[in-house]
């Protein structure tokens, strides 16, 4: 398979449903924690080193061929908030549809049959990467980048932020994204000998709390 498959998988136009989600940016904007490019960068940095690291490790482990059902259970254990578990499975279901159409594989079919209501999105993303012939590190990059690009794109809509400024935020975080992707992959590669306990389990309590609150909003621009 071509390494260029990573460009397809990480493209914001890949029809996996991510455009409808803000990655926690909408409640952060409403609470005044994101007001401009500088505060967006702070938010994205925190998300990258918490939720982003966990997602990247799960994706890398799936791309490395570890049991996706065990990884899905590990993802559940690392997602304490019901609203975020529902979002992760909804996005996983959409990612599964796109991945099976793009890179058909028996592994994707098996996971879809075992988790008809959707597996966690990072696990599906990693399995999609494997089906596309991509290595674990590429899967980690795709998952970590998605955790940055979602809030950055949402902030443009929520704040009328200059898209150039939002893109500059992403560019300034690329070195840290490198670090997170490599750290996640190193943890994923230990899963074969140490089990899923080797995967990062860092959390962002404020993201969890505001996600649950956001799910109850009667009117919102983004699904999460």
Domain boundaries, the chain: 5-215
Mean pLDDT of the chain: 95
Is the model's pLDDT at 1 over the cut of 90? no
Q: Tell me the average pLDDT across 40-59.
A: 97
Q: CA-CA distance, 224 to 222, in Å (whole number)?
A: 5
Q: What is the pLDDT of residue 102?
A: 96
Is the model's pLDDT at 125 over the cut of 70? yes
Band of the pLDDT at 223, cuts 50, 70, 90? confident
What percentage of the chain has pLDDT greater than the value 90? 92
- The pTM of this model reads 0.96
Q: How many helices (H) and strands (E) does the chain have?
A: 13, 0
Q: CA-CA distance, 178 to 181, in Å (whole number)?
A: 5
Q: Tokens 């089990």 map to which residue?
A: 195
Dig out the tokens for 219 from the structure.
């009117």
pLDDT digits over 196-207, tens only? 999 999 999 999
Q: CA-CA distance, 85 to 76, in Å (whole number)?
A: 7
Q: Does domain 5-215 have CATH number 1.10.4190.10?
A: yes
Q: Tell me the average pLDDT across 61-69.
A: 97
Cβ atoms of 5 and 103 closer than 8 Å: yes
pLDDT digits over 140-183, tens only? 999 999 999 999 999 999 999 999 999 999 999 999 999 999 99
Q: What is the pLDDT of residue 160?
A: 94
């Amino acid at each position: 398979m071509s390494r260029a498959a990573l460009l397809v998988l990480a493209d914001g136009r890949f029809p996996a449903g991510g455009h409808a989600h803000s990655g926690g940016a909408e409640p952060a904007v409403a609470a005044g924690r994101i007001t401009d490019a500088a505060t967006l960068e702070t938010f994205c940095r925190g998300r990258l080193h918490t939720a982003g690291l966990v997602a990247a490790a799960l994706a890398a482990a799936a791309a490395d061929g570890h049991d996706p059902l065990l990884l899905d259970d590990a993802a559940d254990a690392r997602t304490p908030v019901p609203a975020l578990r529902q979002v992760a499975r909804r996005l996983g279901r959409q990612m599964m549809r796109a991945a099976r159409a793009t890179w058909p594989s028996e592994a994707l079919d098996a996971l879809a049959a075992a988790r008809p209501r959707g597996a966690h999105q990072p696990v599906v993303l990693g399995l999609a990467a494997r089906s596309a012939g991509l290595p674990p590190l590429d899967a980690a990059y795709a998952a970590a980048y998605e955790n940055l690009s979602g809030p950055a794109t949402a902030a443009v809509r929520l704040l009328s932020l200059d898209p150039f400024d939002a893109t500059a935020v992403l560019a300034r975080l690329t070195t840290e994204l490198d670090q997170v992707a490599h750290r996640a992959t190193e943890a994923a590669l230990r899963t074969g000998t140490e089990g899923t306990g080797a995967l990062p389990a860092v959390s962002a309590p404020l993201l969890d709390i505001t996600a649950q609150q956001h799910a109850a909003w009667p009117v919102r621009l983004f699904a999460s």
